[in-house]
């Protein structure tokens, strides 16, 4: 059943309940369990490192989580359908290279971003077509597109990094509006839009319904192929947004960027309580999941913990979060 | 309507790709001018004229890294200069130890006269190289990783020569430079490493850390990995500077990471010291000496523009070039030293 921040396949038939679930206390605790975990983690890190709780550092964490957060928000749609998108890192690279080259060829950066997002739509559509019309399992389809997009990024950039962008584009990465860093603002907007898609749009509910039971969804009159396509397109567009944030932050577009980005994104999604087998989506959880990963990396670096331990710790926290989530769910 | 939207997107994307495939302006800067180290098109001395058109394969790492792209360019340029035939083989990522071994196996069967290898690990190419030795194929080991002598002896592998620069020395050079700038004043320093477990990252970092320990006035307060990645280096540097705002010098294991670090310094309002300022103001509050490694074009441009203190330039182009020359010498029956060191140098603004 629906609880705040979580959307289950059953919501298809109970849109009303979804709306009122915000006041359910039990739902709140469950939906925000990971948030509680994040606060505890923050408390511990604050004791260990006095720098950790400073506003500047907390904003750093949001900025440092913005790229992964954005990609993970999109990945939530794909995973909710029961699919997976391994190509997000390559889409990040391909679209940001496209944006970079267009800017270098004199196109205004705003227009270049529009073209980049369009390229993202095409990338997602290709994957969507392979999965729906082609019937290729998502894991395999995106394993293929991961290589194809990466290859294309390398081909059009000839392996070189593109750098030195106009101030406007750099502003997206390192500028601030009312003390809030731009990447954080972009992430917040991406969050609000994805949350809206899940909570207020038929599309979001249909995506979840398909993940829950494809046949049932079809029988309910949902255009399954269209919705699955849509999920991959949203995933690819948000990967593009992540790539644009990264490009702006670094003032550089790299054909090798985002290698392994899919794993961080998937980690954020599953930590947030979205099941890998589909049929549910927890968009708040995904955001918090990305912030947890960012917080752990930030805190451990502040304490200068050797990298070997950091890598293991991040893994431990992912497992712990998922186990806690499972435990919480079985109690209900 | 929807179809139209898709069509527009598709056209936009195709345009983006087509526009993208037009090469941008030349990326080189004078220091890297390919011929700077070549005398009449030769790097090694006494390279004989090839008696026939040899075929040489280059088993590289990944072309996802400019370092290896330049290695490839040097290799191809030398092939052309000496009128030889050959090809570069690369794998998807620097983790693909098995795929690289498979490529070598295929190459060995295809009748090449010489094979240039940059193994991903010290061990992954050993079986293929043993097979190559049996067939009398000349083996040139380039850059990293170096095949260990004990392994070569055990498997009966004959390595023509090893060509590369000493990674440990790179770290030493960086630490010495920072110490020289401080001139005895106390200062906190940090190192941002490559991927954990990578031989080259370990060597460079050890060189730096060992040398820092030798100076009483230097204190190592940060030792973190940036995973060879620009954005991770940006984040790690930001966090390190938040924890220790009085760091005066940072050494990065490669240039991709130093460029991320540079962005972090800029975001946090640090002044990166370059040229003569490095000696003048080192150790003052809110100043940083930032040193990278590899000398990729973008880093060299930033050094020249007075944005980055320096980068330790190895010469991947020369390594690729020298590999072909070493192969020719061996194929013509000449003798090669065990190790050929290509030059290494901290490039600062005054060098450009």
Predicted confidence (pLDDT) per residue in B291-320, tens digit: 999 888 889 999 999 999 999 987 888 899
Question: If pLDDT is split at 50, 70 and 90, which confidence band does B6 have?
Answer: low
Stronger pLDDT, B224 or A320, i.e. the higher one: B224
Contacts of residue A301 in chain B, CB cutoff 8 Å?
224, 235-236, 239-240, 243
Q: Which residues contact A241 (CB under 8 A, 6 or more apart)?
A: A70, A74, A117, A120, A186, A190
Contacts of residue A118 in chain B, CB cutoff 8 Å?
8-9, 12-13, 16
Task: Answer yes or no: do B234 and A54 touch at CB < 8 A.
Answer: no
Interface test mutation site (partner B, options A52, A249, A306, A315, max chain B beta carbons within 10 A) = A249
- Partners of residue B292 on adjacent β-strands: B311
- The span from the CA of A311 to the CA of A292, in Å, is 14
- The span from the CA of B257 to the CA of B259, in Å, is 5
CA of residue B254 relative to chain centroid, distance: 7
pLDDT at A6: 58
Residue pointed to by tokens 């800017």: A103
Does residue A38 sit within a domain?
Answer: no
Does residue A10 sit within a domain?
Answer: no
CATH topology of domain B28-164+315-342: Rossmann fold (3.40.50)
pLDDT in tens, A107-116: 999 999 999 9
Biggest distance spanned by C-alpha atoms of chain B: 72
- The span from the CA of A292 to the CA of A271, in Å, is 9
CATH architecture of structural domain B167-313: 3-Layer(aba) Sandwich (3.40)
**Could you tell me the pTM of the whole model?**
0.78
Stronger pLDDT, A324 or A27, i.e. the higher one: A324
Contacts of residue B29 in chain A, CB cutoff 8 Å?
none
How do B161-164 and B339-341 pair as beta strands? parallel
Return the HEC string of A32-75. CHHHHHHHHHHHHHHHHCCCCCCHHHHHHHHHHHHHHHHHHHHH
The yes-or-no answer to whether B28-164+315-342 and B167-313 have a common fold is: yes
pLDDT at B30: 35
Structural domain range at position A306: 65-331
* Total domains present in chain A: 1
Among chain A residues, the shortest Cα distance to B18 is held by: A156
Taking the CA atoms of B11, B14, B19 and B20 in sequence, report the sign of the dihedral they define: positive
Does residue A172 sit within a domain?
Answer: yes
Give the Å distances, CA to CA, from B295 to A102, B179, B292: 26, 21, 8
CA of residue A102 relative to chain centroid, distance: 25
Task: Answer yes or no: do B222 and A122 touch at CB < 8 A.
Answer: no
Question: If pLDDT is split at 50, 70 and 90, which confidence band does B18 have?
Answer: low
pLDDT at A301: 92
- The span from the CA of A279 to the CA of A264, in Å, is 21
Average pLDDT, chain A: 87
Q: Is A106 on the interface with B (CB under 8 A)?
A: no
Q: Is A93 on the interface with B (CB under 8 A)?
A: no
Among chain A residues, the shortest Cα distance to B26 is held by: A160
* CATH code: domain of residue A95: 1.10.3470
- Of B230, B242, B300, the residue nearest B267 (C-alpha): B242
**Strand (E) positions, chain B?**
55-62, 85-91, 114-117, 138-142, 161-164, 187-193, 218-225, 247-252, 271-272, 287-294, 310-313, 339-341, 345-348
Contact A207, A227 (CB under 8 A): yes
pLDDT at B32: 44
**What's the CA angle centered on A254, arms B345 and A302, to 5 degrees?**
75
pLDDT at B1: 55
Q: Is A97 on the interface with B (CB under 8 A)?
A: yes
Tell me the residues of chain A between 113 and 172 that have a Cβ less than 8 Å away from chain B.
Answer: 114-116, 118-119, 121-123, 125, 147, 152, 154-163
ipTM reported for the complex, 2 dp: 0.85
pLDDT at B179: 96
Among chain A residues, the shortest Cα distance to B93 is held by: A259
Compute, in degrees rounded to 10, the torsion defined by CA atoms B218, B222, B224, B226.
-80
Task: Answer yes or no: do B19 and A308 touch at CB < 8 A.
Answer: no
Give the three-state DSSP class for B60: strand
Contacts of residue A49 in chain B, CB cutoff 8 Å?
243
- Of B297, B322, B319, the residue nearest B31 (C-alpha): B297
**What are φ and ψ of residue B46, in 5° steps?**
55, 45
In the predicted model, is pLDDT for residue B144 greater than 90?
Answer: no
- The span from the CA of B263 to the CA of A175, in Å, is 12
- The span from the CA of A190 to the CA of A174, in Å, is 18
Does residue A218 sit within a domain?
Answer: yes
CB count within 10 Å of CB B109 equals 12
Summarize chain B as % helix, strand, coil (round to 5): 45, 20, 35
Interface test mutation site (partner B, options A45, A122, A143, A226, max chain B beta carbons within 10 A) = A122
Contacts of residue A250 in chain B, CB cutoff 8 Å?
230-231, 234, 259-260, 263
- Partners of residue B224 on adjacent β-strands: B192
Domain boundaries, chain B: 28-164+315-342, 167-313
Instruction: Give B179→chain A minimum CA distance, Å.
Output: 22
pLDDT at A331: 59
In the predicted model, is pLDDT for residue B240 greater than 50?
Answer: yes
CB count within 10 Å of CB B306 equals 14
- The span from the CA of A93 to the CA of A91, in Å, is 5
């Amino acid at each position: 059943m629906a609880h705040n921040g979580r959307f289950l396949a059953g919501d298809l038939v109970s849109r009303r309940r979804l709306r009122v679930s915000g006041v359910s206390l039990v739902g709140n605790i469950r939906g925000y369990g990971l948030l509680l975990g994040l606060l505890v983690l923050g408390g511990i890190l604050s004791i260990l490192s006095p720098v950790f709780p400073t506003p500047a550092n907390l904003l750093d964490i949001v900025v440092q989580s913005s790229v992964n957060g954005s990609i993970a928000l999109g990945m939530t749609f794909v995973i909710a359908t029961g699919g997976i998108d391994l190509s997000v890192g390559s889409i990040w690279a391909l679209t940001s290279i496209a944006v970079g080259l267009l800017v270098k060829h004199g196109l205004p950066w705003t227009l270049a971003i529009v073209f980049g997002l369009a390229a993202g739509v095409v990338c997602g559509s290709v994957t969507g077509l392979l999965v729906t019309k082609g019937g290729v399992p998502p894991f395999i389809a995106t394993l293929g597109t991961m290589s194809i997009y990466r290859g294309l990024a390398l081909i059009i950039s000839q392996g070189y990094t593109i750098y030195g962008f106009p101030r406007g584009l750099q502003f997206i990465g390192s500028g601030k509006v009312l003390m809030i860093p731009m990447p954080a603002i972009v992430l917040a907007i991406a969050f609000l839009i994805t949350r809206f898609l899940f909570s207020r749009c038929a599309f979001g509910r249909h995506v979840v319904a398909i993940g829950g039971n494809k046949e049932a969804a079809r029988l309910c009159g949902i255009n399954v192929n269209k919705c699955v396509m849509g999920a991959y397109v949203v995933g690819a567009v948000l990967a593009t947004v992540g790539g644009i944030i990264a490009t702006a932050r670094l003032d550089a577009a790299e054909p090798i960027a985002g290698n392994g980005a899919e794993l961080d994104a998937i980690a954020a999604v599953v930590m947030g309580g979205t099941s890998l087998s589909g049929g549910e989506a927890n968009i708040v959880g995904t955001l918090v999941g990305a912030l947890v990963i960012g917080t752990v990396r930030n805190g451990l670096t502040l304490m200068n913990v050797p990298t070997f331990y950091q890598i293991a710790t991040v893994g431990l926290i992912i497992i712990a979060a998922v186990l806690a989530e499972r435990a919480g769910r079985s109690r209900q | 309507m929807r179809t139209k939207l898709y069509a527009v997107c598709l056209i936009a994307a195709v345009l983006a790709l087509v526009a993208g495939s037009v090469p941008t302006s030349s990326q080189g800067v004078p220091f890297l001018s390919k011929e700077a180290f070549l005398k009449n098109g030769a790097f090694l001395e006494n390279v004989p004229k090839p008696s026939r058109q040899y075929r040489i394969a280059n088993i590289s790492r990944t072309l996802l890294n400019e370092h290896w792209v330049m290695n490839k360019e040097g290799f191809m340029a030398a092939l052309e200069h000496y009128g030889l035939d050959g090809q570069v083989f690369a794998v998807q990522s620097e983790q693909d130890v098995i795929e690289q071994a498979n490529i070598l196996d295929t190459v060995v069967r295809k009748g090449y006269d010489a094979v240039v290898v940059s193994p991903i690990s010290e061990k992954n190419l050993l079986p293929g190289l043993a097979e190559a030795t049996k067939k009398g194929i000349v083996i040139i080991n380039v850059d990293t990783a170096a095949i260990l002598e004990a392994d070569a002896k055990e498997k009966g592998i004959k390595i023509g020569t090893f060509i590369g620069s000493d990674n440990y020395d790179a770290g030493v050079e960086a630490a010495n430079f920072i110490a020289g700038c401080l001139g005895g004043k106390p200062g906190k320093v940090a190192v941002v490493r490559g991927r954990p477990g990578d031989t080259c990252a370990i060597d460079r970092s050890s060189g730096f850390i060992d040398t820092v320990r030798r100076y009483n006035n230097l204190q190592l307060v940060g030792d973190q990995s940036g995973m060879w990645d620009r954005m991770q280096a940006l984040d790690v540097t930001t966090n390190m500077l938040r924890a220790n705002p009085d760091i005066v010098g940072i050494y990065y294991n490669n240039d991709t990471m130093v460029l991320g670090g540079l962005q972090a310094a800029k975001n946090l309002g640090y002044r990166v010291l370059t040229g003569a300022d490095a000696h003048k103001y080192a150790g003052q509050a809110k100043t940083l000496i930032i040193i990278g490694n590899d000398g990729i074009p973008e880093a060299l441009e930033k050094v020249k523009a007075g944005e980055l203190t320096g980068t330790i330039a190895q010469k991947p182009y020369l390594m690729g070039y020298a590999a072909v020359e070493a192969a020719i010498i061996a194929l013509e029956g000449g003798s090669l030293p065990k190790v050929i060191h290509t030059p290494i140098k901290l490039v600062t603004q005054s060098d450009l």
